[in-house]
Amino acid sequence: MTAGPQRCAGVELGGTKCIAVVAQGRDILAQAQWPTGKDAAATLNAVADWLIAAKAEHGFDALGIASFGPLCLDCHSADFGKILNTPKPGWAGVDVVRALSGQLGVPVCFDTDVAGAALAEGLWGASVGCGVHVYLTIGTGIGGGVVIGGKPLHGAVHPEIGHIRVRRAVGDAFAGSCPVHGDCLEGLASGPAIALRAGRPAETIAPTDPVWDNVAHELAELMQMLILTLSPHRIVLGGGVGYGQSHLLVRVRKAAAEALNAYLPGQTVADLERVIVPAGLGAEAGVFGALALAQSLPQELSEI
């Protein structure tokens, strides 16, 4: 990874809140937060004004934007910097990069919030020293960022891990809650999906409740897919469900080991305790992800 500017700004644009920071390395010098409302222009204008004032006061050399998606990350496309067909009202087609960086005159790195978090975990968290690693957020939605050799994995677009289909547990008839795919992983194991299954919020469900058996099964299906396709050194679980339900992690490792059936070395429960781990940066993975993007200076860097 190329060493980037040390004083950077970062914006974590999430589905419910937006956080902007200025930092020297990892030390945050200034921070502000806004709700991510339906009026995208109003939200982004407020953030842009704060960034302009923060640059005048603190100075920074680059901006990292870690956003919910899906996103256009192709810097050769006329749509680069835009949010694509998101179900979040008021945000489809919004040009986030130009709205936030137009008056700053600094290089901008734009990527998904999970790709940023994956980079941050590789720099400062649970994936330090790993050549291939994955960050998964399991909360309001499910998403994943993949880092290979210090760079986020991009293809035609970017990974949308939360919307894959998994094998269902025998007898599980839950229809799923995803408005696009129904019983994709996000529709089965995200926080809202778990709440719909149980009839109450996920954080109020006892660890012994059988609803967690199905959730663990579905997440374990994802783990074995990632292990067999990417052979990652680390899979980091974040998000309110991912790191907020420690008992779930134990169940997922056990179910994943059973599904893998020791096909390859390093796939026992004891091995997976070192592979499938909670987020080292906890709830701050998103904010540090935006800073990691600003400091990474990958090939997709674009100056607006």
* Across 96-107, average pLDDT: 93
Q: Is 299 helix (H, G, I), strand (E, B) or coil?
A: coil
Q: How far is CA 6 from CA 12, 26, 154, 302, in A?
A: 18, 9, 25, 18
Phi, psi (degrees; rounded to nearest 5) at 217: -60, -45
Chain mean pLDDT for the chain: 91
How high is the pLDDT of residue 297? 58
The reply to whether 7-112+284-303 and 126-280 are identical in fold is yes
Percent of the chain's residues with pLDDT above 70: 96
Residue 300 has pLDDT above 50, yes or no: no
Alpha carbons 230 and 283: distance in angstroms, whole number: 25
Which range (50-59, 155-164, 219-228) has the least confidence? 155-164
126-280: which CATH architecture?
Answer: 2-Layer Sandwich (3.30)
Q: What pLDDT digit, counting tens, does each position of 38-57 carry?
A: 999 999 999 999 999 999 99
Select 7-112+284-303's CATH number: 3.30.420.40, 3.40.50.300, 3.40.220.10, 3.20.20.100. 3.30.420.40
How high is the pLDDT of residue 304? 40
More confident residue, 227 or 76: 227
Which range (146-150, 197-201, 278-282, 286-290) has the least confidence? 197-201
Residue 299 has pLDDT above 50, yes or no: no
* Across 122-126, average pLDDT: 96
**Amino acid letter, 137:** T
- Tokens 């419910």 label which residue? 16
* Radius of gyration in angstroms for the set of CA atoms belonging to the chain, rounded to a whole number: 19
Extract the tokens encoding 208: 């012994």
How high is the pLDDT of residue 303? 42
What are the helix (H) ranges across the chain? Answer: 40-58, 96-101, 113-124, 185-189, 191-198, 211-230, 239-242, 246-260, 269-275, 285-296
How high is the pLDDT of residue 242? 80
The domain segmentation of the chain, as residue ranges, is: 7-112+284-303, 126-280
How high is the pLDDT of residue 180? 84
How high is the pLDDT of residue 216? 94
* Across 24-40, average pLDDT: 93
What are the helix (H) ranges across 67-210? Answer: 96-101, 113-124, 185-189, 191-198
The answer to whether residues 8 and 106 touch, using CB atoms and an 8 Å cutoff, is: no
Which range (51-55, 145-149, 177-181, 284-288) has the least confidence? 177-181
Residue 103 has pLDDT above 90, yes or no: no
Residue 195: band (very low, low, confident or very high) from pLDDT cuts 50, 70, 90: very high
